[in-house]
Structures are given as C-alpha cells and as structure tokens.
C-alpha cells in the first residue's frame, strides 16, 4: 500500500500537542511496519525530526497558508503519489480526495459554544477553517480516529448520522523521555531557563479552554491570603499579554509571583515537570490532556479538572476541581502547598497512570485500520 500521512506542522520548531502526537505515531509506525510505503507530507523545514527510511519518504510540499497547503497542495500530492489511503492527523482534510481518508479528529471544541471566536487572530482563523472544513470531511472519511472515550461519545452525538463502525478510539501515549529526572539534570535545565529553585508549573496559552484567567484568579486569592509561597512558572507566554490580563482581573500585584520563560522545547520539559512542586492543568475542555500524563510520568503532582476527558485520563491520581470555580482551584493549590504527604500520595498514584496509555499500541491499531481499508479497496 501507498500510505500518505499529513504531518504539516511536525517539522516546525515550536511543537505543541497535535504535532507531538503525529510525530510519535509516525516514529512508532516506522518501528513496526517495513512492508507498506509511506509518504509523510510536511510544510515546515525548521526541525526535520523524522529520519527517512527505506519505506518512509519525507515530502516537502510548497510552504503556504494551511488551508491552501491542505486543499490544493496536499490534494494534488495524493494523485501524484498514487495513494491508497491518506491519513490527516490534525482535525481537517482536503474536501475532494480520490482515495480513502482516515481522519484523526482530536476534538470538536470549535463546533461547540466555548468562545471559539476568542483568542489570538491565528487561533480564530484556525477555528473558522475547522468550522467550515470538519462538517464537510467527516461524512466522507472511511475512518475517524479520536483520542478518548469522552471525545468519541461527543463526536458520535454531534454527527449522529455517522455509521457506528466509522468512529474508533485511539488513545495518545506518553513519550519515553517523560520519566523521573536526576537532580543534576534538573538543576542544569533550571539554570538554562533561569528558573526559581522551586515553583508551581502551568503550561497554558491564550486559548480560552486552557483557563489561564481562572488560574490567575485562583492564585490571586491565595496571594491575598499571604499564602502564595512559591512563584508560578509559565512557559510560552508573552509579558504584554500577561500584564493586560492581570490588569483586567484586578490582580496586577500577582505579576511579581509569575516567571515567564518563553517557549521550552519538548526535550527539556521532563526536567521542568520534575523540578516543579506541582502542575496546574485546570482546563475547561480537553479531548485528552496529554500534559497530565507527562507530569505524572516525571513524578509531579497534578491539579486538573473534573470536566470532559480529564477524569478519564487522570483517574484518581490528581486533584480534580471545578474549572469554573476559582475558589475550588485556590483550595487545591493551598492543599498541595501545605501537605507534603498529599503530594507524595499523588506522585505514587501518578506513576501508575502513564503505562495505561501507549503510542505503540496506538500505532498497531492505526496500522490495522490502514490495512483493513486496503483489503476493502482491493476487493
């Protein structure tokens, strides 16, 4: 079979969730499949993080805005490379395809009412494109993969005319380098980014679902009580945006407790997780919640939310709070600041969660889906 995988953003330098999931899928398929021929379609050239092999070819399509890249260049490449199946890994796909489509639909948040038109202009344009594209391509896909039981149910309810056998759940996994980190390595990474000796960690951005405003409101309540004894380290966030947000919630004094680092590459995150006293992930809505497992794998206690997929991923190994209640989050922060025995309990429980999720098992399931489609086409 000739299998195409859309990995448009995988070679960009600043990778995020969906990029890392696509990267791990490709790397694990390389390990287990030496028979089929793969064409990995990319846009960026900054970080060529996949090594071509005998049956895996990297194809650089003309660099262009994502809708043009996907609807024109990727669709054209399907014909050029005579693909038997195309797997689009990041929610959207070409509307017109001459071959079967496998679509990874991580979530349909942009089709819901969660402030899809807020955030940065880049995020708004992306959501607008998804709102147009996804309803067109979902009915055409031979298989739709999603990453949690919660999201599988959500998609099935939204697209209620989909045949039941179209939708498959394939969990994300945890990259192997997320594991306990030696103290010397932790200290080296801490100095590299100029981090405090000990801190609370929050990986957020301007996407409303990440609940940055709720995190700052909760920390402001703790600070007002004089009990915020550690700074918050917040990667990949701008000082100007933070200053504006703090002012909007009347929490400007909190700024002195926040340490911005800029973007932190994935390979340095394990040491950051390991160095943190605990990790905040109180999102409003997630389809999976990969950072929950990454933190747990590194021995970092987690506070997360009791909504959407997060209870499914965290199990009983995190403090789960109502993300719409800043006082609930403030109480959990105080608990972990003041109770070392609770932190240790969460660390021990946390180590048991990541082994339940595996990229290897996910790649094996995806390969069986490709081959099932191939058998059907050959008939």
pLDDT digits (tens, 9 = 90+) for 166-197: 999 999 999 999 999 999 999 999 999 999 99
Residue 78 neighbours by CB distance under 10 Å: 22
The mean pLDDT value for 253-269 works out to 93
The mean pLDDT value for 231-249 works out to 90
Predicted pLDDT at 239: 86
Helix ranges (DSSP H) in the chain: 17-32, 66-68, 75-80, 121-137, 149-158, 183-192, 212-224, 239-248, 269-275, 290-297, 310-314, 326-338, 340-350, 359-378
Whether pLDDT at 377 is above 70: no
Overall size of the chain counted in residues = 379
Cβ atoms 60, 77 nearer than 8 A = no
**Percent over 90 (pLDDT), the chain:** 84
**Dihedral over Cα of 166, 358, 6, 10: its sign:** positive
| Buried b or exposed e, range 209-229, using 16+ CB within 10 angstroms | bbbbbbbbbbbbbbbeeeebe
Mean pLDDT over the full length of the chain: 93
Report the alpha-carbon angle 284-222-353, nearest 5: 45
The mean pLDDT value for 118-125 works out to 72
pLDDT per residue as tens digits for the range 292-331: 999 999 999 999 999 999 999 999 999 999 999 999 999 9
For 26, 43, 242, 265, the CA distances from 61, given in Å and listed in that order, are 18, 6, 36, 25
Domains and CATH numbers, the chain: 2-172+358-378 (3.40.50.2000), 183-356 (3.40.50.2000)
**Percent over 70 (pLDDT), the chain:** 97
Phi, psi of 259, rounded to the nearest 5 degrees: -115, 115
Predicted pLDDT at 100: 97
- How far apart (Å, rounded) are the C-alpha atoms in residues 25 and 314? 22
Strands 258-260 and 232-234: what pairing?
Answer: parallel
pLDDT per residue as tens digits for the range 27-48: 999 999 999 999 999 997 888 9
Predicted pLDDT at 237: 84
pLDDT per residue as tens digits for the range 336-348: 999 999 999 999 9
The mean pLDDT value for 144-153 works out to 96
For 70, 71, 290, 358, the CA distances from 12, given in Å and listed in that order, are 16, 20, 19, 24
Burial class, 375, CB count within 10 angstroms (exposed 0-12 / middle 13-18 / buried 19+): exposed
115: left (phi over 0), alpha (psi -120 to 50) or beta: left
For 51, 321, 377, the CA distances from 179, given in Å and listed in that order, are 24, 25, 42
Strands 258-260 and 278-281: what pairing?
Answer: unpaired
- How far apart (Å, rounded) are the C-alpha atoms in residues 199 and 233? 6
Whether pLDDT at 158 is above 90: yes
Would you list the DSSP string of 144-209?
A: EEESSHHHHHHHHHHTTTS-GGGEEE------TT-S---HHHHHHHHHHTT--SS-EEE---S-GG
Phi, psi of 336, rounded to the nearest 5 degrees: -75, -25
Per DSSP, the three-state class of 250 is coil
Q: For residue 117, what are its two tokens?
A: 């038109």
Q: Which residues pair with 202 in a beta bridge?
A: 280
């Amino acid at each position: 079979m000739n299998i195409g995988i859309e990995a448009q953003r995988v070679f960009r330098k600043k990778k995020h969730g969906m990029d890392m999931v696509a990267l791990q899928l490709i790397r694990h398929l390389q390990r287990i499949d030496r028979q089929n021929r793969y064409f990995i379609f990319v846009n960026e050239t900054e970080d060529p993080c996949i090594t071509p092999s005998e049956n895996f070819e990297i194809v650089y399509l003309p660099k262009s805005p994502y809708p043009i890249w996907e609807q024109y260049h990727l669709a054209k490449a399907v014909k050029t490379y005579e693909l038997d199946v195309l797997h689009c890994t990041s929610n959207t796909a070409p509307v017109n395809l001459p071959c079967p489509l496998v679509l990874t639909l991580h979530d349909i948040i942009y089709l819901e009412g969660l402030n899809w038109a807020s955030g940065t202009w880049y995020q708004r344009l992306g959501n607008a494109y998804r709102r147009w594209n996804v309803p067109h391509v979902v009915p055409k896909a031979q298989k739709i993969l999603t990453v949690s039981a919660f999201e599988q149910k959500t998609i099935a309810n939204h697209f209620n005319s989909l045949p039941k056998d179209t939708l498959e759940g394939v969990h994300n996994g945890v990259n192997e380098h997320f594991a306990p980190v030696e103290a010397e390595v932790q200290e080296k990474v801490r100095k590299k980014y100029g981090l405090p000796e000990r801190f609370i960690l929050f990986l957020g951005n301007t996407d409303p679902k990440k609940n940055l405003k709720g995190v700052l409101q909760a920390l402001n309540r703790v600070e007002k009580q004089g009990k915020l004894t550690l700074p918050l380290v917040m990667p990949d966030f701008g000082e100007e945006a933070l200053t504006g947000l703090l002012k909007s919630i009347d929490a400007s004094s909190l700024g002195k407790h926040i340490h911005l680092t800029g973007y932190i590459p994935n390979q340095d995150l394990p040491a950051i997780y390991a160095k943190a006293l605990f990790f905040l992930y109180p999102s409003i809505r997630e389809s999976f919640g990969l950072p929950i497992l990454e933190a747990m794998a590194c021995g970092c206690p987690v506070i997360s939310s009791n909504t959407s997929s997060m209870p499914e991923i965290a199990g009983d190994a995190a403090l789960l709070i109502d993300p719409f209640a800043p006082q609930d989050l403030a109480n959990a922060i105080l608990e972990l600041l003041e109770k070392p025995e609770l932190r240790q309990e969460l660390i021990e429980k946390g180590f048991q969660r990541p082994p339940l999720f595996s990229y290897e098992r996910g790649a094996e399931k995806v390969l069986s889906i490709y081959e099932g489609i191939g058998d059907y086409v050959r008939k």
